[in-house]
Amino acid sequence: MTRIPKWIQRKEANKLEYIRWMEMFLMLPEGGVRAAFPNTHSCRVRFTAVRWPDGIECVRCGGRDVAFLEKWTLYQCRKCRKQFSITAGSVAHRSRLDLRMWFIAAEEIISAHANRNEDVRLHGHSMAKRYGISYPAAHRLKTALIKDLSQQPAGGLMGASVCVQERPLSRDPNRSPQE
């Protein structure tokens, strides 16, 4: 039995990771997230549609009899009376940052990883300066998004929300380029 050196295993893992980031990059909206989601409302609509494709359900009991409290932009389950937002239990849970900012940062992280320049663009201090937020908030935003976007298969809930285009056909890595 031949043992594969660890550096070759890491190199292969990096290739697969790069392919995954590139697939997400190709599924980003044409014109960018800022054009596809011009305001927070459009981000909320998309996030809700991806999270609950069959309609909104309670995060506690799973009930579908849910009312929208417009004054606080919350939902309330009529069965168990639980109030929740669309970000409850997600990567953006309890965040004071606008959902649109999460979408824009997710696009930036996907682009940086796909173009292999994450070392240049994704420093917490530079993100804090670009978004006009504190360093701790930028660091949390970056680490939470990278963790969520690294999930299989479609980059977690945020990745599925931001990547709106059809999934590109993946080439089978076992096939030769001529096939």
Q: Judge whether residue 165 has pLDDT over 60.
A: yes
138 in a structural domain: yes
pTM score, two decimals? 0.84
Distances from the Cα of 155 to the Cα of 41, 47, 76, 149, 167, angstroms = 22, 14, 28, 4, 12
85 in a structural domain: no
97 in a structural domain: yes
Average pLDDT, stretch 26-39? 95
63 in a structural domain: no
Q: Total domain count for the chain?
A: 1
Mean pLDDT taken over the chain: 87
Residue 46 φ then ψ, to 5°: -65, -45
66 in a structural domain: no
Q: Judge whether residue 15 has pLDDT over 50.
A: yes
Bridge-partner residues for 66, per DSSP? 77
Q: Residue 126 sits in which domain range?
A: 8-38+45-50+93-162
pLDDT of res. 177? 47
132 in a structural domain: yes
31 in a structural domain: yes
86 in a structural domain: no
pLDDT more than 90, % of the chain: 67
